[in-house]
Structure formats: structure tokens, C-alpha cells
Amino acid sequence: MTTTTPVRTPAARPPLVTRPLLLRFVTMIGASASFFLLLSVVPLYAQASGGDAGLATGALMLATVCGELATPRLVARFGYRVALMLGLVLLGAPALVLTASDSFGWIVAVCFVRGLGFALTVVAGGALTAALIPAERRGEGLALAGIVSGVPSLVALPLGVWLADSVGFTPVCVAGGLVALASAVVVPGPPGRQPSADHAVGVVAGLRTGALARPAVVFATTALGAGIIVTFLPLAVPTSMSGLVTAVLFIQPAAATVARWFTGRIGDRRGAAGLVLPGLLLSAVGLLVTALTGSPVAVLAGVTLFGIGFGIAQNATLTLMYARVPESGYGTVSALWNFAYDAGMGVGAVGYGAIAAHTGYPAAFALTAAVMLLALWPACQDRR
């Protein structure tokens, strides 16, 4: 008599795309489309009204950073859905009345309120997204969320400028407001974490926690390069290569998006910790190759390498940080990661400009690549 050993089959992976996640994607698209539809339009309106275009954008980004620092405590007290709903309203409603006055003070005030709203949507919304994704497929799910939020930005940014030129500022501002408010209708759909009585961990406390601070520092370092490429590469290449700029500004985010997707799938199977260091190294090498600004081949290869490295770092660091906290800490992780993103891009653009004024663009690219390698220490420490 023989016995048959039962064949063990691997456990089925939980579904990734669920109805609650699809509803969250609706709010993600609404917030992204509203923000990027007006991102270049508002400075144009400010300039046409006799104001300073840079100050208008500066007010928007200052409010965004301030909002990111404050949102985790708001989420801890009121829950994801209240914070997300408030964010969509603050992002959308002011846009409806932006052109009611051409006073520069009014424009700055509207930008500041919209910046607070956008911060709420990315931090509270990001935490809610993480809560809706199965832990076993978090990397893949976050990559999918990145694609869903990224596509509207690629479309809305040029579309807003075209619409403003074709039909005027008021219709495009109203459209930007309505798309955010319309998406708020589905906010009650996804399940929201109940307000917590536990002590909320803020961004500053998160920065003092090594398990969160190390990936955030590495990601902020790669974001330095992203801020530099989008700001200065169009100025750094020779005028005879101006047609290359459009391709470069598409290739870099496209490469990052593809890399995020594959990183998510690999990270879910093998762990995200081992991917942070390769992401950092590829980003630095890509920026170093881009320093050869006189060569079209070098520039294309450099931004492609940088895009791949940046995409790897984006997904690996965010996945790793979410894995290191309970659900009550998702708001802190979302705020800290987005703060690292915005701060890295801002510091990169300002710092590179100061260096390039003395060294020229190619040398500044090379020096920035060397500076990025300083993040090898926290990256290596994190692997241990």
C-alpha cells in the first residue's frame, strides 16, 4: 500500500486592485489633474496681472511643505477620509474664484490655500493608499499608484497652458477647481481608519527614527538630481541641441515610471531593502554622464540612467518605510517621504544654481553627482 504525499501549492496572492482602491484612484486623479492643470497657468495669470510669477509658485510650494509637516497629526485625530476630503476642497474651491480679482495679494492667498490642500491630498491620500494595498503586494501597488497619479500630471501640465491661451484664464481655473471637487464625491467610499487616541508621531519625530530617516535621506539625495534636471538641463545643453530637451524631459519621468513598476514587483518578492543602494548609485552615475552636456548620446544615456535609478529609489524607499511602521504611522511615512521629495528637489535646484554660477553647468553636474554619494553611508547602514 502506498501513500500519496499531498502537493503543496503556494498561497494565492491577495488581489491588488479592489473597489476601494479604484475609488482612491479617482481622488488621486482629481487632485493631480487639478494641481498640475494650474501649476503653470497661475504664474502666467500673476504675471499678466502685474505680479511676480515666482512668488506665486513659491507661496504654493511653501504651503505644500508646511501642510505636509502638519498633516500626520490631523490624520491621527480625524482619520484619512476627513483629511482627504478637506484637502480636495481646499485645492478645488479657491481655484473657482482665482480670477475674481487680479490683485497679487489675492493670487498669493489662493496659491497658499491650494498648497495646503494639495499637501493634505498627498499625505492623507498616500497613507490611505498604503492601507488599501495588501502588504504582500505593497511595492507593486505603490508603483501602480505612482502611474495613476503621474499620467494626469503629464497631460494636465501642457494642457493647462494651451487652454489658458485658447479660452482664457477663467475657464481653465474653473476646470481645475471642479475636477478636484468632483473627485471628492467618492471619498466616503474607501474605508477610512478611525481617529486614533494614540500619541501622533510627527515628521520631526520620524526624522529622529533611524529606520525612517535613513531611506528618507537617501531618497532626498536622489531628488536633488531630479530638481536639477528639470530646472537646468534645458539651459545647460547647447542651443543647437534644443530639440533634445523635449525628449529628455519625457524620457526621465518615463524611465522612472517603468523602473518603479519593476522595482515594486521585485521588491515584493525579494524585499525592498536591497534595492535602495542600486537606486542611489544609478542616480549618481546618470547625473555624472549627463555632465557631458555637449554630447546628445551622453545626455540621453545620462537622463535614462538617472530616471531608472530615481524610479528604483522612489519605490524602494517608500515601500521600506511603510513596512517599518504600523498602520498608525502611515501618515508620518507619507509626510516624511513627500517632504524629502519636495525638499530634495528645491535644495537641488537652488544649490546647483549657486555652484553653476562659479563652475559652469558640466562641472556642477559632476560635483552634484559626487555630493549624492555622501548618501552611501545611510544607504549602507540601512542594509545592515
pLDDT tens digit string along 140-158?
Answer: 888 898 889 888 887 887 8
The pLDDT value recorded for residue 10 is 47
> What is the DSSP track for 183-243?
HGGGTTSS--PPPP-SPPP-HHHHHT-HHHHHHHHHHHHHHHHHHHHHHHHHHHS-GGGHH
The answer to which of 147-161, 288-302, 361-375 has the lowest mean pLDDT is: 147-161
Q: How far apart are alpha carbons 321 and 305 in whole angstroms?
A: 24
Share of the chain above pLDDT 90, in %: 38
Taking residues 9-13, report their average pLDDT. 57
pLDDT band at 192 (very low <50, low <70, confident <90, very high): low
Helix extents (H) in the chain: 19-39, 41-48, 53-78, 80-96, 104-132, 138-167, 169-183, 203-207, 210-236, 242-270, 276-290, 296-323, 330-359, 361-372, 376-383
What pLDDT score does 344 carry?
85
In angstroms, the CA 129 to CA 117 distance is: 17
Q: What is the pLDDT of residue 221?
A: 94
pLDDT digits (tens, 9 = 90+) for 21-49: 999 999 999 999 999 899 878 888 988 88
Higher-confidence residue of 381 and 191: namely: 381
Q: Tell whether the model's pLDDT for residue 4 goes beyond 60.
A: no
pTM: predicted TM-score of the whole model, two decimal places = 0.80
Sign of the torsion angle spanned by Cα atoms 275, 70, 104, 33: positive
Average pLDDT over the chain, rounded to whole? Answer: 86
CA distance 211 to 154: 33
Hey, what's the cell of 181?
A: 471637487
